[in-house]
Amino acid sequence: MDTKNTIESNDKQTSSSHEIDFINVTKQVFKDWKTLLIFVGVAFILGCIIAFNTPKTYTADVILAPELNSSNLGINSNLADMASNLGIDIGDKKTADAIYPDIYPDIFESPDFILGLFNVQVTTTEGSTKTYKEHLLRDTKSPFWTYPQAWLAQTLKKKNNKKAGGNARGNNPFLISQNDADLCGAIKNMIACQIDNKTSVITISATDQDPMVAAIIADTLQKRLQTYITEYRTKKAKNDYLYFKRLNEESKSRYLKAQRAYAGFADANMDPDLASISTQRDQLENEMQLRYNIYTQTLAQLQQALAKIQERTPAFSIIQHSRMPYKPSSRSRLSIIMIIVILGFIIDFVWHVLKTDNQHH
């Protein structure tokens, strides 16, 4: 029993001594103000270098309210909305569309979608007009500490291109150049699509070092997304429309042919007393009437298919249009300096803790 009590008392003393050491270290940090000044001063200088060499970025937003699908307005959807308000996701994804709002962010990450942005014409705040790809390659500034990494990556690319035979793979439609792939990765980090699960409101954002370019790209993303969704939802209806249009044209041609045959026979045989002539004329008239009925049916189907396209076309209400931002969205220079200064203070504190532990041991 005495041995157990002795061990417990030693543990309590050890823990209390560590707490006392922690307090003493805090006092030592402020007491040794010269060392603290060195750490904080170096951190301040480093913070200024980083802050003033970090390019400012601007973010433009577009807010959309999509049309709700009528198939989602049943009891299951109501239960899903109630669960969403309580913070519970019951995973109700039943919808007639394979592309629903929850996967819109995945569309933005698709290389095919991003590659379509390369040739978008943008205008900078200075008034120059160029493609988005040219803007990113020529106008984008990088911090100086990324130069060694960029140089090394470029060197490795040249070596890989030589091993791969240079531009021998340029005709392969399934491959893109390494530079374009890297540019796609950079653009992926500069665009975003967020969905509010409670309200289904879509927020599209684009970030760039030029505020005007950010606004243009955000507006382009909104239009591209609307076009992408519209083409998907109306694809089957458009195919049906083209099918019924072909049937309607063929039935109209057959009807006009039967009409000409009947009119020609009637004009050439004006004597109704002959039974053979009367019978043949009736057959031609019935054939003409049959062709006309088919023509009117296909015309009605064509009109229905056209109405179906309009019905399937989604409507998006733009709550907030894209506007050029005036305030940068990146971290301010003062906050960068303050964070690094605080980090310098923490390093000085840890240094004193290690120094105190070494003295005790």
| Residue-level pLDDT at 68 | 59
Domain identity same for 291 and 159: no
What is this structure's pTM?
Answer: 0.69
Q: Is residue 357 part of a domain?
A: no
| Residue-level pLDDT at 191 | 93
Q: Is residue 49 part of a domain?
A: no
How buried is residue 206: exposed, middle or buried, by Cβ count under 10 Å (0-12/13-18/19+)?
Answer: buried
Domain identity same for 221 and 143: yes
**pLDDT tier for residue 129 given thresholds of 50, 70 and 90:** very high
Q: Is residue 199 part of a domain?
A: yes
**25-39, 67-81, 300-314: the lowest-pLDDT one:** 67-81
What count of other Cβ atoms lies within 10 Å of the Cβ of residue 350? 12
Domain identity same for 89 and 211: yes
Q: Is residue 42 part of a domain?
A: no
Domain identity same for 119 and 266: no
Domain identity same for 147 and 218: yes
Long-range own/partner contacts, residues 2-6 (CB < 8 A, 24 or more apart): none
pLDDT at residue 144 tops 80: no
Domain ranges, residue 110: 55-234+315-330
How many domains would you assign to the chain? 2
**pLDDT tier for residue 160 given thresholds of 50, 70 and 90:** low
Domain identity same for 222 and 268: no
Amino acid (1-letter code) at residue 273:
D
Q: Is residue 196 part of a domain?
A: yes
Domain identity same for 131 and 192: yes
Domain identity same for 210 and 249: no
Domain identity same for 262 and 291: yes
Q: Is residue 80 part of a domain?
A: yes
Domain identity same for 163 and 260: no
pLDDT digits (tens, 9 = 90+) for 330-360: 888 898 889 989 998 888 888 877 776 666 5
pLDDT at residue 77 tops 60: no
Long-range own/partner contacts, residues 35-42 (CB < 8 A, 24 or more apart): 35/348, 35/351, 36/345, 36/348, 39/344, 39/345, 39/347, 39/348, 39/351, 40/341, 40/344, 40/345, 40/348, 42/344
**pLDDT tier for residue 317 given thresholds of 50, 70 and 90:** confident
pLDDT digits (tens, 9 = 90+) for 167-218: 444 556 577 888 888 899 889 999 999 888 888 788 999 999 999 999 999 9
How buried is residue 338: exposed, middle or buried, by Cβ count under 10 Å (0-12/13-18/19+)?
Answer: middle
**pLDDT tier for residue 221 given thresholds of 50, 70 and 90:** very high
Q: Is residue 12 part of a domain?
A: no
Q: Is residue 126 part of a domain?
A: yes
Taking a C-beta distance cutoff of 8 angstroms, is the pair 233, 312 a contact? yes
Share of the chain above pLDDT 90, in %: 28
Domain identity same for 94 and 229: yes
Domain identity same for 196 and 222: yes
